[in-house]
């Protein structure tokens, strides 16, 4: 019987083609929506963690309160011993120190006079150390547009957009004018080794990347850093683990009355990201739920309409003596087969689109021209394990439910009325 029903579905397009296409389209959209929303959320968290917050971050209490102002005078000191303590106490984390600073970048002409100037947002990291995890987190080698990576002291990288604005080329000398940790003016010459484009508008407008030892010397911050960032080894933000880690560290190491006492904050506890993550998570759940419900209704309706169009066929089968229970079960089996087949095709198509956008993404640069939020210019989908089976929920269940409800009419058919219907 099963073989007979499947042959009937394959040979009669009125019973199979439209329902299968409907299920396929619905499941494709559901799978793509889940992958896209999940990708947007992951892109936001990854960009923020790599460039600003880490999965956890250690600062002084005073610096944490004014972190938007980049106050180097409130930075951590004795970071070498603190890093050693962190690596010994939390071996499951990757720790790296950074200095964030602001200043003025002066570009001289041939006679040494100022030709161009621009405000710069600087990031000091371990550039010259080939084993530094920063190379992976910031993907600097991939981000090089012109020139090369820094290879010696006082080499630096600047963003390509900033370089074009100041008319600077690799090999040019520039002067960083800023303020030291003790409030004095600092003027340090750097050589532009290359230009970079990180694909994050907030950074690409005016970033300077230099080795942390050079910046420590320039800003009189020997054995000091603005912050120490911690990352999970799998480079995935684990929300509960990060919050627990921060609480444990603060209980042991933070003095509530100490202005320069170190304090650890999880990613979501910085820059108002908790509210943003909650909002994005809630919106993702709402969008996915609505999408699944709407597609379920559409597929349910398709199942109803499919059986209503077969009203005459059902009458003929009953008139020929087929039992109502057998007929009802055959309708359910057909609906199940259509749901499985359409869901399988829709899942494959949805994954193909999602995998393509996971590797290529969609450029949203035009929407981020004046943005200060750490968002990548190219948003990508993210294929998760749930994407492989979530489409079967509306594809199979809704189709099966639609056939089940519409098929109840089989039991309401009266044999005495069949001949009148067939005469018509």
Closest CA to 326 of 311, 341, 312, 314: 314
pLDDT at 213 (0 to 100) = 92
Q: Where are the domains of the chain?
A: 2-47+275-423, 56-236
Region 111-126: mean pLDDT is 87
Q: 94 falls in which pLDDT band (50, 70, 90)?
A: very high
User: What is the distance between the terminal CA atoms of the chain, rounded to a whole angstrom?
Assistant: 30
Closest CA to 55 of 86, 24, 85, 77: 86
Q: 14 falls in which pLDDT band (50, 70, 90)?
A: low
Query: Phi and psi dihedrals of 365, rounded to 5?
Result: -55, -40
pLDDT at 291 (0 to 100) = 64
Pairing of the two strands 114-125 and 93-108: antiparallel
- Residue 375 confidence (pLDDT) above 70: no
Q: Which DSSP letter does residue 230 get?
A: E
pLDDT at 209 (0 to 100) = 92
Tell me the C-alpha distance between 351 and 383, whole Å.
Answer: 7
pLDDT at 269 (0 to 100) = 80
153 contact partners, CB below 8 Å, separation of at least 6: 128, 211, 213, 214
**If residue 157 lies in a helix (H) or strand (E), which one and from where to where?**
strand 155-159
The reported pTM is 0.69
- Residue 314 confidence (pLDDT) above 80: no
The structure tokens listed for 144 are 């090089």
Query: Can you say whether residue 135 is alpha, beta or left, with left for phi > 0 and alpha for psi between -120 and 50 degrees?
Result: alpha
Torsion of CA 155, 161, 167, 171, to 10 degrees: 20
């Amino acid at each position: 019987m099963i073989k007979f029903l499947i042959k009937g579905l394959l040979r009669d397009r009125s019973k199979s083609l439209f329902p299968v296409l409907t299920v396929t389209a619905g499941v494709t959209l559901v799978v793509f929506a889940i992958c896209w929303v999940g990708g947007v959320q992951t892109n936001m968290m990854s960009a923020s963690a790599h460039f600003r917050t880490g999965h956890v971050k250690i600062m002084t209490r005073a610096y944490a309160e004014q972190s938007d102002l980049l106050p180097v005078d409130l930075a951590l000191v004795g970071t070498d011993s603190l890093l050693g303590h962190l690596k010994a106490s939390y071996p499951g984390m990757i720790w790296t120190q950074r200095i964030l600073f602001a200043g003025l970048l002066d570009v001289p002409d041939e006679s040494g006079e100022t030709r161009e100037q621009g405000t710069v947002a600087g990031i000091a990291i371990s550039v010259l150390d080939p084993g530094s995890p920063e190379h992976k987190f910031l993907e600097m080698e991939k981000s090089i547009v012109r020139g090369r990576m820094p290879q010696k002291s006082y080499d630096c990288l600047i963003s390509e957009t900033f370089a074009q604005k100041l008319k600077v080329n690799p090999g040019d000398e520039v002067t960083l004018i800023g303020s030291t940790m003790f409030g004095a003016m600092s003027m340090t010459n750097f050589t532009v080794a290359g230009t970079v484009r990180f694909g994050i508008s907030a950074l690409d407008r005016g970033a300077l990347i230099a080795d942390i030892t050079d910046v420590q010397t320039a800003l009189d911050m020997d054995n000091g850093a603005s912050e120490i960032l911690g990352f999970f080894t799998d480079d995935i933000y684990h929300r509960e683990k990060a919050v627990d880690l921060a609480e444990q560290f603060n209980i042991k190491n933070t003095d509530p009355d100490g202005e320069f006492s170190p304090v650890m904050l999880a990613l979501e506890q910085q820059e108002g990201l908790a509210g943003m993550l909650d909002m994005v998570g809630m919106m993702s759940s709402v969008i996915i739920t609505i999408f699944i419900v709407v597609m379920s209704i559409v597929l349910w309706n398709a199942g109803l309409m499919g059986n209503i169009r077969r009203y005459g066929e059902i009458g003929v089968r009953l008139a020929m003596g087929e039992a109502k229970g057998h007929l009802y079960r055959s309708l359910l089996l057909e609906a199940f087969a259509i749901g499985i087949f359409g869901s399988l095709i829709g899942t494959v198509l949805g994954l193909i689109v999602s995998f393509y956008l996971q590797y290529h993404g969609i450029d949203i640069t035009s929407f981020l021209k004046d943005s200060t939020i750490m968002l990548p210019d190219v948003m990508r989908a993210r294929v998760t394990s749930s994407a492989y089976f979530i489409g079967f929920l509306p594809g199979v269940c809704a189709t099966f439910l639609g056939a089940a409800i519409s098929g109840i009419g089989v039991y309401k058919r009266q044999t005495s009325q069949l001949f009148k219907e067939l005469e018509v």
